[in-house]
Structure 1
Amino acid sequence: MNLNLANPIVFFDLETTGVNIAKDRVVEISVLKVYPHGKEEQKTIRINPEMPIPKEASAIHGIYDEDVKDCPVFKGIAKELARYIEGCDLGGYNSNRFDIPLLAEEFLRAGVDFDMRKRKFVDVQTIFHKMEQRTLSAAYRFYCDKCLEDAHTAAADTFATYEVLKAQLDRYEGKLENSIEFLSKFSTQNNNADFAGFIVFNDKGVEVFNFGKNKGIPVEQVLKEQPGYFAWMLNSDFPLYTKKILTEIKLRSTGMLK
């Protein structure tokens, strides 16, 4: 079943130096842009992460320091990438928990204000886990009856993710609606205000902290009653996107952000 699209959707996959959203960097990004009329475009870019790639990471994706030493850094391709995916919804495999938060961090480090909140996110892994509970290779075999060659390469994983989503729509026709808005809501598992889950929305739609001594307490209340907490978070090892959301809440609470 082909996707019913109001906007283009970009499926993407990142290969990285590790899994720490705040510290690790992208070494390869592959994007598959699907247009409402069905046209498909795929691009894969290797990136110099400006840090050594740990052997453990290279053993998984097969990309070593020597492979990326002459490649552009993320800042060098950030504006072009932002333009390419502007106006698009985003899809991936485990993307809501990893790829999207890490990509947001890279954009912020590069000084590109790419507002992730304007788009819908479709996480094919979440759909899969809600329906069957497996890995990407198993999902590809289960839904598409194909063996995933070159697993853990960004290009192969990206295209497999796209094919799995289309096959999911065929298999669960009548249960899954062929609309990105529905799939985005269905594949969302959290109520995060930031991507990493340090700040979440409570059942009243209010941002509250989701860690430490202030867990469950509204962010605005904490910032008012504990003035030093804001500075502590900004100077600590939290993701840049978490700090961005925290700053927006503080500015809003003081009337400086409408």
Structure 2
Amino acid sequence: MNLSLDRPLAFFDLETTGVNVGSDRIVEIAILKLWPNGKKEEKRHLVNPQMPIPEETSNIHGIWDKDVENEPSFEDLAPALFLFFKDCDLGGFNSNKFDVPLLVEEFYRAGLDFDLTDRRLIDVQNIFHKMEQRTLAAAYKFYCDKSLDDAHSADADTMATYEVFLAQLDRYDTLKNDMEFLHEFSKRGNFADLMGRLAYNKKKEIVFNFGKHRNKLVKDVFRSEPSYYSWMMKGDFPQSTKTILKKVKLELDKENK
């Protein structure tokens, strides 16, 4: 199947030091960039995370401290990656929940604002879960009748995700070959931030989506409990979440003047 693209679509996968978006780092990134004219470009980098890789994590993806000690840091790679992703929609497997937030966080650390405002996010796992409820390896077997022998290799996972995506579009008549439709279909919910800590209510106001203030307006909480803002800004929350909180706080401060 030929994808119906009106701008580039970049499938990517990350291998990391762990699963905490706020504190863990990328150790490998693989990207498959698809152009509307059918052109394909691939990039793959090992990345020095500038922190130890836990042994239990290395046992999963096979990347050890010695493998990345002489590799560039993400900050070194960031300018070129930023340009490579320019004007791209993003695709991946579990990417809306993990890979995209962590990628954005790494760009923040490198001093680059990787704006997602006009990007469409295609999460193949969300499509898969809505249709079949499986893992990537099972998805690859189910849709492509192939075994994913090199799972947790960024290259293998990226290519498998791309092949599964094409097979999904072939299999389901209800899935439109349209990136705007697939962006909406891939969403986990009406979240305001990438990790789902903040959400929009029916009035499109930002509310908390966790903890004791769940479903309460962020502005109302900051009015009644100013220390909650300080607690979140000092806490181990992703920078992408904190950026939204800063904007809400700034709006609130302007209202109070």
Q: Under TM normalisation by the shorter chain, which class is it?
A: over 0.9
C-alpha separation in 2, matches of 1:13 and 1:46: 12
C-alpha separation in 2, matches of 1:213 and 1:4: 44
C-alpha separation in 1, matches of 2:11 and 2:252: 36
Residue 227 (structure 2) aligns with:
228
Residue 188 (structure 2) aligns with:
189
Kindly provide the CA deviation profile for residues 76-127 of structure 1, in whole angstroms up to 9, marking residues without a partner as x.
1112111110100000000011101111111111111111232110000111
Question: Which aligned runs of 4 or more in structure 1 are off by greater than 4 angstroms?
Answer: none
Residue 55 (structure 1) aligns with:
55
Aligned-pair CA distance for 1:203: 2.1
Aligned-pair CA distance for 1:138: 1.3
Q: SS at the partner of 2:30?
A: strand
Residue 205 (structure 1) aligns with:
204
C-alpha separation in 1, matches of 2:236 and 2:151: 32
Residue 249 (structure 1) aligns with:
248
Q: Is residue 69 of structure 2 the alignment partner of residue 69 of structure 1?
A: yes
Q: Is residue 74 of structure 2 the alignment partner of residue 96 of structure 1?
A: no
Query: Which piece of structure 1 moves more, 240-249 or 87-96?
Result: 240-249
Which amino acid in 2 is paired with 1:247?
K
Aligned-pair CA distance for 1:134: 1.1
Query: Which piece of structure 1 moves more, 215-224 or 158-167?
Result: 215-224
Query: Which piece of structure 1 moves more, 79-88 or 205-214?
Result: 205-214
1:68-217 alignment to 2 at 5 Å? 68-172=68-172, 174-217=173-216
Identity %: 56
Aligned-pair CA distance for 1:150: 1.2
C-alpha separation in 2, matches of 1:168 and 1:202: 31
Kindly provide the CA deviation profile for residues 162-195 of structure 1, in whole angstroms up to 9, marking residues without a partner as x.
11111111111x2100001001111111111111
Residue 31 (structure 1) aligns with:
31
C-alpha separation in 1, matches of 2:242 and 2:190: 17
Kindly provide the CA deviation profile for residues 127-153 of structure 1, in whole angstroms up to 9, marking residues without a partner as x.
111111111111111111222231110
Question: In structure 2, do the counterparts of structure 1 residues 99 and 250 end up closer, same or farther at CA, with 3 Å as the change threshold?
Answer: same
C-alpha separation in 1, matches of 2:229 and 2:79: 30
C-alpha separation in 2, matches of 1:253 and 1:38: 47
Q: SS at the partner of 1:116?
A: coil
TM-score normalised according to structure 2 size:
0.96
Which amino acid in 1 is paired with 2:121?
F
Aligned-pair CA distance for 1:74: 0.6
C-alpha separation in 2, matches of 1:62 and 1:117: 34
> RMSD of the TM alignment (CA)?
1.2
Stretches of structure 2 lacking an aligned partner (at least 5 in a row)? none
C-alpha separation in 1, matches of 2:195 and 2:28: 21
**Matched residues, number:** 255
C-alpha separation in 2, matches of 1:108 and 1:178: 32
C-alpha separation in 2, matches of 1:2 and 1:253: 48
Q: SS at the partner of 1:56?
A: helix
C-alpha separation in 2, matches of 1:112 and 1:77: 12
Which amino acid in 1 is paired with 2:164?
V
C-alpha separation in 2, matches of 1:109 and 1:136: 29
C-alpha separation in 1, matches of 2:142 and 2:191: 31
Aligned-pair CA distance for 1:214: 1.7
C-alpha separation in 2, matches of 1:104 and 1:59: 26
Q: SS at the partner of 1:31?
A: strand
Aligned-pair CA distance for 1:227: 2.3
Aligned-pair CA distance for 1:28: 0.2
C-alpha separation in 2, matches of 1:236 and 1:188: 26
Aligned-pair CA distance for 1:253: 3.1
Which amino acid in 2 is paired with 1:157?
D
Query: Which piece of structure 1 moves more, 56-65 or 245-254?
Result: 245-254
